[in-house]
A and B are shown apart, each in its own frame.
Chain A
């Protein structure tokens, strides 16, 4: 079973920041938080990952709380092409397989 909890759906206006929350209260010290997204039935697309510190790349920012029990993925300026299912995944320790949950369906509205 997935170790994370995400809202099933969210809306965001085009051009605005999309903030996607994720709870992972049972995360272990050596486990990473990963974010992927899937557009229709395409292959999952890697977005960003982190262990303890906040991370930023050209796609998004990842904010991890100090206790590491939750995180937020931030898409700074959402576009219609960002409409997708976003998966928050915790992995690490003895495995690096990805266990996908049901994710959050982000709908970017014009």
Chain B
């Protein structure tokens, strides 16, 4: 069964460093998302991406964050200058088509630890 994959599974970085989290969405999916979950808190929407453009973003997704689809298979989240409060699980998701009738499938997540 096709699945979303994410690398690395755990990333440790120092405050102020740039970090790139990588995702490979399901191959025929066209709509991509990033969510995050701070330990013990709710899963939060960050950004959605379709047709090489950001479709929607939350207030969390400020200028320190960016997303990119560098090739036909990868989808990345970059945090330019990490802060302690960026420590969280980051989940990538994809859906076949934009629109709420199409379910989103989540990857296993990348645990980001900022020290």
Contact = CB atoms under 8 A, between A and B. Distances in A.
Interface of A: 30-32, 34, 36, 38, 41-46, 49, 51, 87, 91-93, 95-102
Contacts of B101: 32, 49, 51
8 contacts: A41-B109, A41-B111, A43-B91, A43-B107, A44-B43, A44-B91, A49-B103, A100-B42
Interface stretch (B65-73, B77-85, B92-100): B92-100
B104 A41 contact: no
Interface residues of B, number: 30
A98 B95 contact: no
A32 B100 contact: yes
Contacts of B106: 36, 43-46
B89 A96 contact: no
Contacts, number: 61
A96 B48 contact: yes
Contacts of A102: 42
Given A41-B109, A49-B103, 19 more contacts: A30-B100, A32-B101, A36-B106, A41-B37, A43-B4, A43-B93, A43-B108, A44-B91, A46-B103, A46-B104, A91-B100, A93-B100, A96-B48, A96-B98, A96-B102, A96-B104, A97-B33, A98-B35, A98-B45
B45 to A, nearest CB: 4
Given A32-B100, A95-B56, A97-B48, A43 B42 contact: no
Contacts of A96: 31, 48, 95, 98-100, 102, 104
A79 to B, nearest CB: 19
Contacts of A38: 43
Contacts of A91: 100
Contact of B89 (A34, A41, A45, A46): A41
A102 B99 CA distance: 24
Contacts of B111: 41
Given A41-B37, A41-B89, A98 B104 contact: yes
Nearest to B58: A97
A84 B29 CA distance: 27
